[in-house]
Structure 1
Amino acid sequence: MSTAILWGIAILFLLLCLTIISLLFYSGLLYPIEFKAGKPPVGSLQIAYKFGRGQYSDVGEYFGEVGKLVPSAYRSFGMYYDDPEKVPSGKQRYAVGTILSEGDAEPDKELMEKLESNGYKFHNIPEVTNMVHTTFPNKSFLSIIIGMQRVYPAFGTYIEETGLSAHPCFEIYDNDLIYFMAPLAKQSEFYVPEAKEKQQDPETESLSLDGSLDEDNSGVDGSGSSSGEDSGSSFEELDASQVTEEEDEEVEEEVKDEGSV
């Protein structure tokens, strides 16, 4: 093989490496992750969803399906209810779908009928004053992979350091950004009806992010809001009770002085 050919191969390889590195940086490899506890970037939402119980790696097909059914301007979302480190594959709960409307806006009735005919259900998510939240760039298919690998470890660290009880994990995919959020109040209302169904298998009990089993939810009140001590859980199974205004005020007091990481 001639020297010129070898040089050509070497240059092509170098260009390929530079392209991959550039794509990784562009996709958020070194993007600063800053979690905050406070007012989230969204208000009340009406969503269309499909519920699943399996492994989180299965959600891609759900996102692909809803992406084919709704206009590109619509935001898709994923809601994750269990700690994948503790709840085994095949038993992890999630809901995936699209946001139909926000605030007082009226949803598109024809789109709702189309989604309903394709097996989607509807749910209302309330506006909350406090969420743990951050953003990550949505620039390429790699952004999702990199975001998952970088954001959730940082989320776990933030929860451990602050002692907050934030759950479930809620992702919204906008044009250029991925919003990672977890509510600190009215948490039971983020659970679609199927996610609240009790499981007989003890392996599906709620688990905290740090790996401990929250059998009595001693650090969380009936709504899932922090009650003061040792409330570091981020994945908790909830009952159907609503969060009261007084509990919302307690959460506001708890997080108003929280900084960011």
Structure 2
Amino acid sequence: MDLSLLVILIICVLIAAWFIRYVASIFFENIEPSVTEKAKFLSSNLTVYYKHQIGAYSGTAAICQEIKSIVPSDCITFGIFYDSPEDVKEHLLQSAVGVIFSIDGKSLYSDNYAQQLTRLGYEKMNISKVGKTVQVIQRNRGFLSFFALLTNTYPILKKYIETHRLETTYSMEFYTSDHFYVYFPLENAEELRVPEYKSVERLEADMAKKCFDSDLSDSESEPEQTTDMEGN
């Protein structure tokens, strides 16, 4: 075998081995859920800017990217998820996506950033300390880490909640450059509820009414069709 070809082959094998090891380190990370009263971020009083979203949770990524185009890219973004995709239809899922602006009264950014966020439709909200919560922490190693969060971390977390028979409602995720922090509050979960939130039943009823009103408006705006009977 040609020496140069052998060198290329060895390099390819080493790269493949490194990639496999890299992927394995992401998807087979040791995840250990626990209950804590000192959850990072949630054990502090927060001021946040957020957007309320209705629809598939996959849409939250675009909002996070928009935030990072406004405030420094090392910002702490978050997602609050009010419904289980297993129980609620995709078009009725509700979430709130935003950025931490201050922690325990200490601002992380200047007011200029707050003004920019407000102009783009972000709302301001204060979140008081949340008490006891189920938590899990996963390292953030880039794009593949989000898949690991869904396919590995969440199943482990849900099994922990079921095994310990814990009562949970909403979930909240914080995203930093190094880690993902996932929480299911056991106390004061209402602190995470944004004013725009509606129960699934009310949201579904409002959507049905809006659709009916739209159809009614369309039918009323259609010109009346007349038939010239005399010409027939």
- TM-score, normalised on structure 1? 0.69
Q: 1:52-85, CA deviations, whole angstroms, 9 ceiling, x for partnerless residues?
A: 1111122221111111111123201111111112
2:20 is aligned with 1:21: yes
List gaps (5 residues or longer) in structure 2. Answer: 207-232
- 1:1-261 superposed matches below 5 A: 4=2, 10-11=9-10, 13-26=12-25, 28-39=26-37, 40-42=39-41, 43-106=44-107, 108-196=110-198, 198-201=202-205
Q: Using the TM superposition, give the Cα deviation of residue 174 of structure 1 relative to its aligned residue in structure 2, in angstroms.
A: 1.6
Q: Distance in 1 between matches of 2:58 and 2:167?
A: 25
CA contact (8 A) 2:130 2:191 kept: no
What is the root-mean-square deviation of aligned Cα atoms in Å? 2.2
Question: Partner residue of 1:255?
Answer: none
* The structure with more helix, counted as a fraction of residues: 2
List gaps (5 residues or longer) in structure 1. Answer: 203-261
Q: Give the 3-state SS of the residue equivalent to 2:162 in structure 1.
A: helix
CA contact (8 A) 2:52 2:97 kept: yes
How many residue pairs were aligned?
199
Q: Give the 3-state SS of the residue equivalent to 1:69 in structure 2.
A: coil
- CA shift in 2, pair 1:13/1:186, >3 Å: same
Q: Whose Rg is larger? A: 2
Q: Give the 3-state SS of the residue equivalent to 1:196 in structure 2.
A: coil
AA aligned opposite 2:30:
P
CA contact (8 A) 2:130 2:189 kept: no
Q: 1:172-231, CA deviations, whole angstroms, 9 ceiling, x for partnerless residues?
A: 0122111011111111120111223532359xxxxxxxxxxxxxxxxxxxxxxxxxxxxx
